[in-house]
Amino acid sequence: MTLQQLKYVDGIARCGTFTEASARLFVTQPTLTESVRLLEEELGIVLFNRTSRGATLTREGEAFLASARQILDDAARIKERYMGMAARPAQFAVSCQHYAFAAEAFMEVVKACGSHRYDFTLRETVTSEIIDDVARRRSEVGILYLSRRNERALMKLLRREELAFEELFVAKPHVFLAKSHPLAGKETIRPAELDAYPYLTYEQGTENALYFAEEVMPAIDRKKNIRVRDRATMTRLLLGLEGFTVSSGANSAMYASDLVAVPLKVDDFMRVGAIRRQGFPLSRPGELFLAAVRAKQA
């Protein structure tokens, strides 16, 4: 077993495929595949489940990778201290629902690294992929919310994947709409007042069950529905169609200056929190990220 093999396993786990890992590690795919095969043979375990969709760690692989990353970090520190070589880049990945506060917290982590080397990933994606990313170790942290409507189903999924939910803050649902919208000046908005306007929600791919939705108010209750995938498109349509969406309202000033957030009059709350692997400590960037999220809600 060599440090190079540990780097290969780490790279495949982060990328999710042998093809992408070979490109990022500057090694041919046959060489990468053979190196991992020899390591698995030496250890007597299977590290990855290989499918047409990519490679995911097995249970044994997850335990091995946790130890391997400690060894890689220790080796990098030794090289830096005694050989004057640059330390291994700080690595961190987070998957989240479409929240501006998460992007702001991510920027705080990048700024905290200053001129140091880092390799960070921020993925705004669908709810099911957030859970899968953290479970398969593609992301260290996932950000999503629980409410009365989705808590039972999502907590069941998290327990099955051995993931823990850590509440970061509780928010009241808000309606986001253009400042020029006829309802923009109201102190609160009732769901019935929104019937005449397009309801913009985030598309959830093949997993369109209600408990995966990013919005507290179900789209099935609306007459006009538009689904989008990214925040830029969402903002453009909110401004151009007199549409609306529903979100936490947390740090609404971070959103486009032409949008306003108005409290939605519903008997529900959004418990925004972080999901992570049980029994695995956070990296330093992970700790900074969650601290930044909390600080922005204080």
Query: What would the mean pLDDT of 186-194 be, rounded to a whole number?
Result: 94
- Please state the rounded mean pLDDT for residues 33-62: 90
pLDDT tens-digit series, residues 130-188: 999 998 888 999 999 999 989 999 999 999 998 999 999 999 999 999 999 999 999 99
Average pLDDT across the chain, whole number: 88
Residue 198 near residue 283 (C-beta atoms within 8 A): no
* 62 pLDDT tier (thresholds 50, 70, 90): confident
Lowest mean pLDDT among 29-33, 129-133, 240-244, 252-256: 252-256
Q: Which domains, and CATH codes, for the chain?
A: 1-88 (1.10.10.10), 169-271 (3.40.190.10)
- Residue 89 is which amino acid? P
- pTM for the model stands at 0.74
Lowest-pLDDT range, 32-46, 59-73, 184-198?
59-73
How far apart are the C-alpha atoms of 26 and 266, rounded to whole Å?
53
| Res 78 pLDDT > 60 | yes
* pLDDT (0 to 100) of residue 252: 52
Of 12-16, 85-89, 185-189, 213-217, the one with minimum mean pLDDT is: 85-89
Q: Residue 164: what residue type?
A: A
pLDDT for residue 256: 58
Question: What is the C-alpha to C-alpha distance for residues 134 and 56, in angstroms, rounded to an integer?
Answer: 11
Q: Flag whether pLDDT at 16 surpasses 90.
A: no
- The enclosing H or E element of 93 equals strand 90-96
**Are 298 and 291 within 8 A, CB to CB?**
no
Please state, in angstroms and rounded to a whole number, the distance separating the CA atoms of residues 229 and 277. 26
Work out the number of other CB atoms within 10 angstroms of the CB of residue 185.
9
List the Cα angle 136/116/112 in 5-degree steps: 80
Please enumerate, as own/partner, the contacts of 188-192 that have beta carbons within 8 Å and a separation of 24 or more.
188/262, 188/263, 188/264, 188/265, 189/262, 189/263, 189/264, 189/265, 190/265, 191/217, 191/221, 191/264, 191/265, 191/266
Q: Residue 74's pLDDT is what? A: 80
pLDDT-derived band at 15, boundaries 50, 70, 90? confident
Nearest-angstrom CA–CA distance, 246 and 191: 10
166 three-class SS = strand
| Greater model confidence, 33 or 256 | 33
